[in-house]
Amino acid sequence: MMKTITLPEKTVERLSEYRRTLLNCLDEGKTHIYSHEIAELHNITAVQVRRDIMFIGYSSNQRKGYDVRELVEVIGRIIDPQEGMNVAIIGMGNLGRAISHYFSGKRTKLHISAAFDIDPSKTDRVISGVKCYSMTQLPEVIKELGISIALLAVPSEAAVVTAEQLVLGGIQGILNFTTVPLNVPSNVYLEEYDMITSLEKVAYFVKKQIGE
């Protein structure tokens, strides 16, 4: 049995990114890969790649590099929930539907099992392959389906109140796609994803390049 380890957040992010790259390599028929090859694909150093992979207790064959399939499996055992987790999308507007389409079938251990919305025209329907419930049903559906994670895609003005409902309903992790920073109890893991900030970051570095 593999010893449970707690990884730094950035290491978990990179391992997830490495796995996507490695899965693409498998699709292309590549069986082994060196740390410097992974590093080039992710614009980081080979030292960082080796450090991350050593962190999870895996090592390479010096002549052949990392076994791609084995490394995919090791990363999965480390970062994936063993029994799988059910996920809910909160807010089935354009963003919520896009998220549902994007995540569908991407990971077998993470299943989008429900969606919630306040719009009566969207509830009691299957939207983008997911059954959509009324927000009034949230606590009972979370409990019934064993939902642990919520993807928050509601309008910004509803973000704080909705997050409070999620916490009270028993959600243990929230991925916040709104532009409103949230405060949640310490026992709830929160990840903020602000597309505006990401775009402004890209624009800043493009501006620097143009100015050079």
pLDDT digits (tens, 9 = 90+) for 139-170: 999 999 999 999 999 999 999 999 999 999 99
Whole-number Å distance between alpha carbons of 53 and 128:
36
Range 116-134 average pLDDT? 95
Predicted pLDDT at 154: 96
Structural domain contains residue 3: no
Structural domain contains residue 128: yes
Structural domain contains residue 123: yes
Q: Which helix (H) or strand (E) holds 89?
A: strand 85-90
Instruction: Say whether 193 sits in a helix, a strand or coil.
Output: coil
Q: Indicate whether 104 and 178 sit together in one domain.
A: yes
Structural domain contains residue 202: no
Domain that holds residue 156: 85-196
Question: Is there a contact between 79 and 12 (Cβ–Cβ < 8 Å)?
Answer: yes
pLDDT over 80 (residue 2): no
Tokens of 97: 């539907």
Range 102-118 average pLDDT? 86
* 3-state helix, strand and coil shares in percent for the chain, rounded to the nearest 5: 45, 20, 35
Q: How many domains does the chain have?
A: 2
Whole-number Å distance between alpha carbons of 7 and 76:
14
Instruction: Say whether 167 sits in a helix, a strand or coil.
Output: helix
Whole-number Å distance between alpha carbons of 66 and 74:
11
Whole-number Å distance between alpha carbons of 166 and 160:
10
Please work out, in degrees rounded to the nearest 5, the angle formed at the alpha carbon of residue 183 by the alpha carbons of 179 and 188. Answer: 110
Q: Indicate whether 117 and 34 sit together in one domain.
A: no
Confidence of residue 84 (pLDDT cuts 50, 70, 90): confident
pLDDT over 50 (residue 1): no
pLDDT over 90 (residue 199): no
Whole-number Å distance between alpha carbons of 91 and 151:
9
Task: Determine how many CB atoms are found less than 10 A away from the CB of residue 71.
Answer: 23
Cα Rg of the chain, angstroms: 20
Q: Indicate whether 191 and 92 sit together in one domain.
A: yes
Q: Indicate whether 37 and 72 sit together in one domain.
A: yes
pLDDT over 80 (residue 124): yes
Q: Indicate whether 94 and 166 sit together in one domain.
A: yes
Whole-number Å distance between alpha carbons of 182 and 177:
11
Which of 51, 79, 107 is at the close of a domain? 79
Is 59 or 117 the better-scoring residue by pLDDT?
Answer: 117
CATH of the domain at 129: 3.40.50.720
Question: Is there a contact between 74 and 104 (Cβ–Cβ < 8 Å)?
Answer: no
Question: What predicted TM-score, i.e. pTM, was given to this entire model?
Answer: 0.79
Q: Indicate whether 93 and 158 sit together in one domain.
A: yes
Range 73-89 average pLDDT? 90
Q: Indicate whether 64 and 117 sit together in one domain.
A: no
CATH of the domain at 73: 1.10.10.10
Question: Is there a contact between 130 and 100 (Cβ–Cβ < 8 Å)?
Answer: yes
Predicted pLDDT at 59: 83
Confidence of residue 88 (pLDDT cuts 50, 70, 90): very high
Q: Indicate whether 72 and 172 sit together in one domain.
A: no
Q: Indicate whether 169 and 93 sit together in one domain.
A: yes
Q: Indicate whether 171 and 137 sit together in one domain.
A: yes
